[in-house]
Amino acid sequence: MNRWMFRCRDVSERVSQSMDRTLPIHHRMAIRLHLMMCRHCTRFRRQLLMLREMAGHMERHQLSGEVDERLSDVAKSRIKEALRSVS
């Protein structure tokens, strides 16, 4: 495999890894290049970032003792808007 061109499978794996640790510079550059050309991998990356943000939000609320299993209308609207912008 050319070290400057990753396939979608490689990019999705490395994007996920990049959220846990710093990747080597040549991997970061290859991912960036691939993301400029591939809307599917770009969408996948945005979805991972959104999931990570929502998981952090949920964790903060659980730690603070706030437990409400229903979503507010405002939260539902934000989720709908976020999903529209991802598509």
| Predicted local confidence at residue 84, as pLDDT | 87
**Domain-wise residue ranges, the chain:** 8-86
For residue 46, give Cα distances in angstroms to 4, 32, 69, 70, 78: 22, 13, 25, 25, 15
Q: Is the pLDDT of residue 44 over 90?
A: yes
Higher pLDDT, 57 or 52: 52
pLDDT of residue 33 exceeding 70, the answer is: yes
Question: Mean pLDDT over residues 13-40, rounded?
Answer: 94
The answer to whether 19 touches 52, Cβ cutoff 8 Å, is yes
46 pLDDT exceeds 60?
yes
Please tell me the number of Cα atoms within 13 Å of 15 on its side-chain side.
23
Report the pLDDT value the prediction gives residue 64, as an integer from 0 to 100: 62
Mean pLDDT of the chain: 86
